[in-house]
Structure formats: structure tokens, C-alpha cells
Amino acid sequence: MATIDIARRVYDHSWKLDPIVRSLLDTDFYKLLMLQMIWGLYRDVRADFTLINRSHSVRIADEIDERELREQLDHARSLRFAKKEMIWLAGNSFYGRHQIFAPDFLAWLVDFQLPEYDLRREDGQFVLNFSGPWTHTTMWEIPALAIVNELRSRAAMKGMGRFDLDVLYARAKAKLWEKVERLRKLPELRISDFGTRRRHSFLWQRWCVEALKEGLGEALLGTSNVLLAMDTDLEAIGTNAHELPMVLAALADTDEERLTAPYRVLEAWERYYGGNLLVVLPDAFGTTSFLKRAPDWVADWTGFRPDSKPPIEGGEEIYTWWRLRGRDPREKLLVFSDALDVEAIESTYHYFQGRVRMSFGWGTNLTNDFEGCAPGPRDGLKAASLVCKVSSANGRPAVKLSDNPQKATGEEAEIARYERLFEFEEPSRAKVA
Amino acid sequence: MATIDIARRVYDHSWKLDPIVRSLLDTDFYKLLMLQMIWGLYRDVRADFTLINRSHSVRIADEIDERELREQLDHARSLRFAKKEMIWLAGNSFYGRHQIFAPDFLAWLVDFQLPEYDLRREDGQFVLNFSGPWTHTTMWEIPALAIVNELRSRAAMKGMGRFDLDVLYARAKAKLWEKVERLRKLPELRISDFGTRRRHSFLWQRWCVEALKEGLGEALLGTSNVLLAMDTDLEAIGTNAHELPMVLAALADTDEERLTAPYRVLEAWERYYGGNLLVVLPDAFGTTSFLKRAPDWVADWTGFRPDSKPPIEGGEEIYTWWRLRGRDPREKLLVFSDALDVEAIESTYHYFQGRVRMSFGWGTNLTNDFEGCAPGPRDGLKAASLVCKVSSANGRPAVKLSDNPQKATGEEAEIARYERLFEFEEPSRAKVA
């Protein structure tokens, strides 16, 4: 006796929009931590963000309907923090600390709204820019990426039958569970979901996080997604991102000031946060350069997050630096978060086990790995390398070098200028691969 | 906005029974074909059927609650053919023939009800017997097996969490789809679902049949399950079974009469059916004996269904016999239906391709392969070798030898008598394996 909920069926028929982002908490935790600091210290800075598709062969504007993209972005702009979300932000403890968000910041957050966007098509790509106060544009990064990625998934699945979809998700679930079973063999693993921005869809990310929770138990530290952290009673995970040194470097009036930007960011951060939130992201203008010039107190921070070198090479460089600075790496933390798949997690885990504390921030390969899952070829289901980066601050161009030239962002002349200034060492091709 | 159908939720809470068999059409098609003949020719014969568990190590009565088993059997007894089912049986064409079921047979079928059963526990097993007119007891075979098998599945899954179940079925779906993709590479494959009796559950069988329909297209001839054939617009597939020669041999007054029983079955069958329904099941008392004594007209039948020798060996024996009898095997059909997995289908297909027409009846390995699918070990999910066989006719013991001594049924002394009479050749162990 199959009973059909007629009202629901009719409601489903009459959908105008199936919103992708339904809450302002559906973002990465580091955005809120950074926002509090930006709001506190850089309230008057204007910062522009730009969507960048590093996968040039993927012509996103041919895959996605512009009207649908606008509807989703408009819907995200209609969101406000809900009352229960504000109460949770105020009442929950993060990284073991109560009231990490100050009452005056939260009072400001109540009225927060995503600012306007500027969208046009150009040569098969969308040019999507967010201009305005840094306190607002910064918050577009994650929802913009999640929206574009999920619209790509939806487009790729358009026309698939009920059965094809069933097989697609059955395979993706089976595939993820194979990974969980492999990771379960690493007894001291500490891992988090970092997959919001590149996720296949919100519902799929939620399934993946629940799978990790069920399968890995204590090994799962939490999720970077604040909404999922709240809904599934997991820890919200994340610290800071490249945009902080990028903006401070862009605002610098002299090269000398620019060279100190990465460390001034850390000084400011330390005034706001402590303990396990003291994780250095060293690669904005090259890790080697960063370590060479770093004041000694940087070595007192809890850990580093190498983000653009191969994990063992990147971790080893920091490990050696700690030893040179007279610190015991066994008391330090390395957070690996770049391009992780199960093989990379396993090899990195075994390489550093016992030498340093480790955790892994698992992104694209967790929440958007549908390779081999579709009954036929579906290129659109392959995750594209999309980012949303700050492009200028108070009208001055912003630059990111990172340790991988393919991940550099900014105008070419500016990149070259930064490379000279920070004495950027071009890594060999072999190292990048 | 998740809307919950409150009425449905309450209804789900208040379930007394989730019936396994919900229609008398939820049986194998050959049962109906045989029933028409039994009703026409052997209306007064009494035949007893018995559930036999060949997997002695599986203690079914310890796995399944007796009360639940009784409730399911009682529910099956409450069923009658529905009006639309009768109309479909009368109006549909089967094997290309209209009105395969005569009006007087259908008129009798309207009031059909499964007869009483006799159930008790003995040493960890259920002793389940069906006594009465052959026209009624024969119809218990499939529902009884389906009920016991699905109750085993349910027992094995009891206590599994929502997530464990999700992974279980995701893996089983992915696993089946790998098989579909392999089978798709056999361009002239003809295959049918024969998995009703051993299925994991009704819903799972339905999913499997839909998967084959979607994935194999024309290569799927149909399903032996009459209900699924009706509901999914597939052909109902099946011809005849061992019970026919078993009963006729049991009823024989002399050894001479007993030796002719398999051929008298075919003569009777031919009066009822023709064309592609003329498929010989030769192994009731040993294929070699059957072929040796077969009248020449048997070689005129459309095909054979070797059912208890390894497929290549069994097929080759019949192939050679056709040639000895001067028939062209390329015009003949071999239906393989015993213990098929994908490897066996592939090797048999390649072996006989171009030499003889073939089709495959795929059973347990299609509808009940959950090996490696459960997150933890779940022995109860492994299909047991359960059968439901005629044990006596008009009080005389019935025997099946088959080509595989492990599949023989009947009293030991009777089996020995039949082996002598039919000059049964014990196959070497190597051949059986």
C-alpha cells in the first residue's frame, strides 16, 4: 500500500527554485573567524573578490544557465542569520573556547547580508565579481563556489533517468565507503571535512560528513561547514586563509611593509585567537621565503598548514625549520589540506607518524569524487578547479603566489613583482606534479 | 522545507505485518504453466511438498522467529488472484501465443487459495510440509521459499543503523551494476531473471530486474516472476520443472513405466504448449540416462535446459547428442540456469557462441548477492541453498537424482533404487566441483 503525499507532490511540481545555499551558516568556519578580525581591524577596507576557473577547458558558462545562476545568487542574498543560528554561534564553544565571537560582532552580524554581485559571460566563462567592503565581499567566497559547483552537477545530471541517478549515487556511496574503510586502518588519524566549496551538492556533502562520522568515529575532528557542524553536533574546523596576507600586502605602501604583511597578519590573529587556532598558513608568497624571514615567535605557534606543495615535501620543510629554530616538532601540528586523496593521506600519515602531530583537511576528493560513477561518460560531474580570490584591496591589486605557480592569482606584472620581492623560488616541474 | 506525511508516519508505526508475498502472481511463471497441465491431467493426484535446506550449517530456525514465519505464511494463504491479474493472464500473450491459459482453467483459478501448511521446529531447522492435491501444494514452492529467504534477510539486517543499511544497498547496487556492465559486452546475450525463490527481498528483486531492463535492453528476455513481468511490461519466462517427471515416476506401477515417465511428461506438455515452450529439462534422473533412452521426437523439441552439470560440460553433452541424432544444433536452444555467476555466463557464452542458440536464467547471484556489502560480517545475508521439492505423490515416495548427487532429494533407499533403475553414473568429484 503505497501512500502518496499529494500535497507534497503538488508542491514539488510547483517549485520555482531549489535553493542551493539555504543558510548563511552554510559556509566555512574560517570565514567567520576572519570576518570578526576584519570587522574589528579593517572595517574600512574595500576588497574585491573574483571567481577564477583554473580548469580552462571547462566552459562553465556553456554548462550552466545564466538565469539559474542569478536566481541562486539572488536567493543567497536574501538570506539572514536565523535566530537559532545566532544563539548557537553565541552559545557554542569552538576549539574548546567559549564566546569566541564577541557580543558586539554578533550584534553586527544579525543584519548581515551578502552584497551585490557583478556577473557577465565572456568566452564560455562567467566573470563574477564581488565589490564592496571587505567585511561583506569576503563572505561570498564559499556560497559563490558552492552555487556554481552544484549548478554544474545539476546540469551534468539533467536528463539522467531515475535509475541512472540511483546507480550514480549508489556507486558514489560505495566508493566513499571504500575510502572510509581504508582510512580506518590508520589508528591515530585526525581528519576533517574541508569540502564545502567544491562539493557536488549540499545533500551529498551532508551524506559524506555523516559517513565519516559513522565510519571514523573519533578520528573525525569535525567539518569546516558551520551549518553541518551545528546540525550534526560536530566541531566546526578552520582558522585563516590567504586573503589576510594578500590584502595586507596589497595595502602596503612600501616593499618593506609588504614583506612584513604575513607576520603582521599573525600578530593580529594572535590578539583575537589562541591555542589550536594558531595555525600558520605560510604559502601566500612562498613558504620558503616565509620561513626564512619569520620572526622567532612564529615558531611558537601551534602548527602550520602547508597548502600548495606536495604534502611530504611541504611538511618536511616546516619540520626542518622547527628543528632549526630549536622547537620539538612532536609538540607541533601539521594540517594538510591540499589536493588530498586517500593515497596521499596514507603516505603522509605513515611518513610523519611519531615525528609530528598531524591532521588532514579533506576537500574535493571527499565531497565531489564521482569518477567512474555515472553509467555513461559525464564530464560535467568532474570537479573543476574553481576558486574565489581577493583581486584588489582599496583599488590596489592583490596577489597570491603560493608554492605552486599554477595556483598563483593576480595580474601578471604584479605576480612578477611579488616573485622578485619575496625571492620566490620556482619549484621544479617534478616537484609540482 | 521538509514536509512529513504525518498519516503515513503513523501508519508505518502501527504496522503489524510487512507482508513478503502480496500477490499470487508473485511466483514463477512455470508454476502457472505446469498448474494448467496438472489441473487438466492430474487433478486427483495428491502431492506433498517439503522445504529442504541443503545448507545444513545455516540453522534457519535459530535465525527466524517461528511466529513471524507463520504470520507470513498465513498472509500468503489469505491472497486470491486480483481481478486485474486475472484479466492480464487472460489478455496477455506469453511466448508469442495468445490465450495460453484456457478459459475453464482461469475460471477455476479465480477461487484459488494456497492450502494449509504444517510447520514445526527440529534441531535448528524448520520442518515445513505442504500436503494435499497437487493442484494446490505445487503453488507453495515459490512463496514458501521467498518468505523464508526474505525473513532471513530481515533477521540479518535487524539492528543495523540507517547508515549501515544505506551503505549495504549502495554497495549491492554498485556490485550488480558492475555485473551489468560486464554482461553488456556480450553482444548476443539473452538472459532472464530466475531469482524469485532465492531473492534477498521482493523490493530488491524488483530493483535488480529494473536494473537489467535499463542496462541490458533487448538482451533481457524477461523475468520468471509473473508479478514483475506484469508490472514492468516484461516477458514472463519459464517452462517446466522436475516435479512433473518426479510425480509421474512416483506414480508408476512398474519399473518400465517409471523409466518412461520423463518422456510421457514431454508428450503431455506438447499437447498443451508449443514453440519456445518446448524446452526439455533432462536431469531429473540423470541427463546421460535421459538422452540414451530418449525417443527420437525429443530431438525435435526447441531446446534443453541443463540444470545440474557444469554448464559447458552439460551443454556439450546435449550438443553432441543433437548431432548424433542428426539435428543441427545451431537451430537449437540451450537454457542455462544452474548456479550462474558472471564468470560462468561469460565462459559459457564464449564457448558455445555460433554453435548453438543460448539463453541464461540468472538466479541467486542476481537477486541475492550481498557478499562484501555489509559494513560488518553478516552471515545471515549469505543466500542459503533452500529448495521446496515434491516428496511424495499419492503416498508414494518421490525422488530427484539430478546430475549432481548433492542436489538429490528423496529417501536414501529410494534414491539408490532410482540410481540402479536409471543406471545413474556417479560423476567424478572433479566434475561436480
**Angle, CA of A41, A47 and A50, to the nearest 5°:** 140
Q: What is the pLDDT of residue B426?
A: 73
Cβ contact B173–A170 (<8 Å): yes
Nearest chain A residue (CA) to B174:
A171
Q: What is the pLDDT of residue B427?
A: 65
**Across A205-219, A376-390, B123-137, least confident range:** A376-390
Q: What is the pLDDT of residue A309?
A: 95
Q: What is the pLDDT of residue B3?
A: 66
Q: What is the sign, positive or negative, of the torsion defined by CA atoms of A322, A323, A326, A331?
A: positive
Tell me which residue in A167, A169, A210 faces B163 most closely, judged by beta carbons.
Answer: A210
Nearest chain B residue (CA) to A161:
B214
Nearest chain B residue (CA) to A180:
B375
Tell me which residue in A7, A164, A173 faces B170 most closely, judged by beta carbons.
Answer: A173
Q: Which residues lie across from B362 on neighbouring strands?
A: B193
Q: What is the largest CA-CA distance in chain B?
A: 76
Nearest chain A residue (CA) to B180:
A375
Q: Across chain B, what does the average pLDDT equal? A: 94
Nearest chain A residue (CA) to B173:
A170
**Across A174-178, A361-365, B291-295, B375-379, least confident range:** B375-379
Gap from B167 CA to chain A (nearest CA, Å): 6
Q: Chain B interface, mutation test: which of A11, A18, A163, most B Cβ atoms within 10 Å?
A: A163
Cβ contact A375–B210 (<8 Å): no
Q: Pull the grid cell for residue A119.
A: 556577473
- How far apart are the C-alpha atoms of B391 and B316, rounded to whole Å? 31
Cβ contact B174–A174 (<8 Å): yes
A297 in reach of chain B (CB within 8 A) = no
Gap from B9 CA to chain A (nearest CA, Å): 10
Tell me which residue in A8, A166, A211 faces B5 most closely, judged by beta carbons.
Answer: A8
Q: Which residues lie below 8 Å from residue A185, measured CB to CB, with a gap of 6+?
A: none
Gap from B157 CA to chain A (nearest CA, Å): 17
Nearest chain B residue (CA) to A9:
B3
- How far apart are the C-alpha atoms of B191 and B189, rounded to whole Å? 6
Nearest chain A residue (CA) to B177:
A167
Give the SS3 label for residue B268: helix
Cβ contact B170–A171 (<8 Å): yes
Q: Pull the grid cell for residue B390.
A: 515434491
Closest CA to B280 of B291, B293, B292: B291
- How far apart are the C-alpha atoms of A328 and A14, rounded to whole Å? 62
CB contacts, 8 Å: B161 with chain A: 214
Compute the average pLDDT of residues B231-241: 96
Cβ contact A173–B166 (<8 Å): yes
Cβ contact A174–B169 (<8 Å): no
A170 in reach of chain B (CB within 8 A) = yes
Cβ contact A170–B166 (<8 Å): no
- How far apart are the C-alpha atoms of B320 and A215, rounded to whole Å? 56
Closest CA to B433 of B339, B337, B319: B339
CB contacts, 8 Å: A5 with chain B: 3, 5, 8
A19 in reach of chain B (CB within 8 A) = no
Q: Chain B interface, mutation test: which of A3, A11, A167, most B Cβ atoms within 10 Å?
A: A167
- Distance from chain centroid for Cα B261: 22
Q: Pull the grid cell for residue A197.
A: 566549496
Cβ contact A170–B171 (<8 Å): yes
Cβ contact B163–A8 (<8 Å): no
- How far apart are the C-alpha atoms of A263 and B412, rounded to whole Å? 89
Cβ contact B173–A166 (<8 Å): yes
Q: Across chain A, what does the average pLDDT equal? A: 94
Compute the average pLDDT of residues B378-383: 88
Within a 10 A sphere around the Cβ of B421, how many other Cβ atoms?
17
Within a 10 A sphere around the Cβ of B236, how many other Cβ atoms?
25
- For chain A positions 183-222, those within 8 Å of chain B (CB to CB) are 210-211, 214-215
- How far apart are the C-alpha atoms of B312 and B306, rounded to whole Å? 10
How big is chain A by its Cα radius of gyration, in Å?
Answer: 21
Q: Chain B interface, mutation test: which of A5, A10, A213, A220, most B Cβ atoms within 10 Å?
A: A5
B382 in reach of chain A (CB within 8 A) = no
Cβ contact B7–A3 (<8 Å): yes
Q: Kind and range of the H or E element at A195?
A: none
Within a 10 A sphere around the Cβ of A297, how many other Cβ atoms?
11
- Per the CB < 8 A criterion, the answer to whether A51 and A144 are in contact is yes
CB contacts, 8 Å: A19 with chain B: none
Gap from B6 CA to chain A (nearest CA, Å): 9
- How far apart are the C-alpha atoms of B50 and B28, rounded to whole Å? 18
Instruction: Dump pLDDT digits (tens) for A264-309.
Output: 999 999 999 988 999 999 999 999 999 999 999 999 999 999 999 9
CB contacts, 8 Å: A170 with chain B: 169-171, 173-174, 177
- How far apart are the C-alpha atoms of A53 and A55, rounded to whole Å? 5
Tell me which residue in B7, B167, B210 faces A173 most closely, judged by beta carbons.
Answer: B167
- Per the CB < 8 A criterion, the answer to whether A8 and B5 are in contact is yes
Nearest chain A residue (CA) to B207:
A163
Q: Pull the grid cell for residue B226.
A: 509473473
Q: Pull the grid cell for residue A353.
A: 607518524
Helical packing angle, B162-183 and B342-352, nearest 10°: 10
Closest CA to A248 of A265, A232, A235, A234: A265
B12 in reach of chain A (CB within 8 A) = no
Residue A294 or residue B6, greater confidence: A294
Give the SS3 label for residue B211: helix
Q: What is the pLDDT of residue A403?
A: 95
Query: In terms of DSSP H, where are the helices of B252-286?
Result: 255-272
B297 in reach of chain A (CB within 8 A) = no
Cβ contact A167–B174 (<8 Å): yes
- How far apart are the C-alpha atoms of B186 and A276, rounded to whole Å? 58
Within a 10 A sphere around the Cβ of B55, how many other Cβ atoms?
12
Note the pTM of the prediction, 2 decimals: 0.88
Closest CA to B306 of B407, B234, B418: B407
Residue A276 or residue A263, greater confidence: A263
Residue with cell 511466483: B27
Q: Pull the grid cell for residue B251.
A: 506414480
Gap from B323 CA to chain A (nearest CA, Å): 43
Instruction: Dump pLDDT digits (tens) for B213-224.
Output: 999 999 999 999
**Predicted confidence band of residue A243 (pLDDT cuts 50, 70, 90):** very high
Tell me which residue in A8, A163, A215 faces B3 most closely, judged by beta carbons.
Answer: A8
Query: In terms of DSSP H, where are the helices of A302-392?
Result: 311-324, 342-352, 364-367
B13 in reach of chain A (CB within 8 A) = no
Q: Half-sphere exposure of A163 toward its Cβ, with a 13 Å CA cutoff?
A: 15
**Predicted confidence band of residue A428 (pLDDT cuts 50, 70, 90):** low
Q: Chain A interface, mutation test: which of B182, B214, B369, B371, most A Cβ atoms within 10 Å?
A: B214
- Per the CB < 8 A criterion, the answer to whether B234 and B213 are in contact is yes
**Predicted confidence band of residue A427 (pLDDT cuts 50, 70, 90):** low
Question: Residue B433: pLDDT above 60?
Answer: no
CB contacts, 8 Å: B212 with chain A: none
**Predicted confidence band of residue A70 (pLDDT cuts 50, 70, 90):** very high
Question: What burial letters (b/e) apply to B308-341, b meaning 16+ CB within 10 Å?
Answer: bbbbbebbbbbbebbeeeebebeebbbbbbbebe
Q: A with B: how many residue pairs have Cβ under 8 Å apart?
A: 57
Closest CA to B349 of B136, B241, B201, B190: B190
Q: What is the pLDDT of residue A3?
A: 66
Q: Pull the grid cell for residue B243.
A: 516435479
Nearest chain A residue (CA) to B2:
A8
- How far apart are the C-alpha atoms of B390 and B400, rounded to whole Å? 9
CB contacts, 8 Å: A14 with chain B: none
Within a 10 A sphere around the Cβ of B232, how many other Cβ atoms?
14
Q: What is the pLDDT of residue B429?
A: 44
Q: Pull the grid cell for residue A324.
A: 632549526
Q: Which residues lie below 8 Å from residue B378, measured CB to CB, with a gap of 6+?
A: B156, B157, B370
Instruction: Dump pLDDT digits (tens) for A114-152.
Output: 999 999 999 999 999 999 999 999 999 999 999 999 999
A11 in reach of chain B (CB within 8 A) = yes
- How far apart are the C-alpha atoms of A305 and A285, rounded to whole Å? 14
Gap from B321 CA to chain A (nearest CA, Å): 43
Q: What is the pLDDT of residue B432?
A: 39
A174 in reach of chain B (CB within 8 A) = yes
Q: What are the CA-CA distances from residue B394 to residues A386, B46, B268 (Å)?
A: 77, 5, 20
- How far apart are the C-alpha atoms of B276 and A206, rounded to whole Å? 52
Q: What is the pLDDT of residue A13?
A: 77
Q: Chain B interface, mutation test: which of A173, A203, A210, most B Cβ atoms within 10 Å?
A: A173
- Per the CB < 8 A criterion, the answer to whether B399 and B424 are in contact is no
